[in-house]
Amino acid sequence: MTSIKKIGLLTSGGDAPGMNAVIRAVTRTALMNNIEVTGIVNGYAGLFSKEFINLNALAVSNIEGTGGTILRSSRCKEMMTDEGRDKAANICKEYGIDALVVIGGDGSLTGAQTLAERGISIMGIPGTIDLDLACSEYTIGFDTALKTASDAISCLIDTSNSHERCSVVEVMGRNCGSIAIWSAIASGADIALVPEVNDITTEDVIKKVKHTREKGKKFSLIVVAEGVGGSVKLAKDIEENTGIESRATVLGHIQRGGHPTVLDRVYAAIMGNKAVQLLINGETNKIITVQNGKCSSIDLEEGLKLQKTKKKFDKDLYDVINTLSI
């Protein structure tokens, strides 16, 4: 049996739909095994300000379908310094937190690794809309963000079609093109500009827009990843060079909200449950992952090392956009 009596739980970095479902899964699995759960409010910042709440079974009732994070989140500058990391580790020890479960992306898990180096037992759960972790096929929030982006693009297609315009849509994803590629495929985009493919010029895009018009298509849809940016300028260049009215839309933070999809809720439940099960079995300093479609785990340090060599780019998936466009 486990020697763990108390788990600390926090959400950190950009929030992601499904984080609440993870909070519920972690809390309920822990309580079922007589482990107390301390919710740390506002991410690592709440660790420093000691904003702690006790999470009981009812506190996490009926949250699996809600967006945002009931624990709130932050990007915490103090966790970027050695002094801050020492302080955070000491607070965990002072408050009897035997293990810290961190739900977040790359930066948040890197912060967790610095605490692991200071003797805190860590479980990381990938929660980010970006799908940008090299060590996991899935990150909680991606499916919901993708649905939100694709639904918004459908609306843009309606109006672009009515006005015979070109729509340039910028989606989130930081330095990763996953949301752009998947939403481009889902929406039948003519072209997607992503950071992983850097040889597509503005001239290529203009050529493509002209080509699809010549073939009789009445509207154009260009998806631009945040990591490429410049959608307003691109729309202007397209309009000037083709005479086709063009509009840019930056979807922005709308992609971070909303009710999580079923996929996000289910992954959240499975991954949250696994995180606590591993702790109970005496395992520590891991990232919960999805590998070959199955919930698995990887050593925290190793998982973050993979991040340095970058996520493997799926060129075949990207090429589907071009193959299916006119």
- Contact set with ligand F6P (CB under 6 A): 14, 75, 105, 128-130, 172-174, 226, 256
- In whole angstroms, the minimum distance from the beta carbon of 96 to ligand F6P comes to 31
- In whole angstroms, the minimum distance from the beta carbon of 129 to ligand F6P comes to 5
Cα separation, 24 vs 65, in Å, equals 11
Nearer to ligand F6P by Cβ, of 128 and 325: the residue is 128
Name the closest residue to ligand F6P (Cβ).
Answer: 14
237 included as an active-site residue: no
DSSP sequence for 203-217: HHHHHHHHHHHHTT-
Nearer to ligand F6P by Cβ, of 75 and 207: the residue is 75
Look up residue 243 and give its amino acid: G
- In whole angstroms, the minimum distance from the beta carbon of 112 to ligand F6P comes to 16
Tokens matching residue 129:
């809309």
Nearer to ligand F6P by Cβ, of 14 and 18: the residue is 14
Nearer to ligand F6P by Cβ, of 64 and 226: the residue is 226
Q: Please enumerate in sequence order all residues whose Cβ is within 8 A of that of 279, keeping only pairs 6 or more positions apart, or say none.
A: 2, 4, 7, 99, 101, 121, 123
Which residue intervals of 128-256 are DSSP H helices?
A: 142-163, 178-187, 202-214, 231-242
Strands (E), the chain: 6-11, 36-40, 52-54, 99-104, 121-126, 166-171, 191-193, 220-225, 246-250, 286-291, 294-299
Are 43 and 15 within 8 A, CB to CB?
A: no
| Active-site choice (130, 132, 190, 264) | 130
Task: Tell me which residues are annotated as active site.
Answer: 130
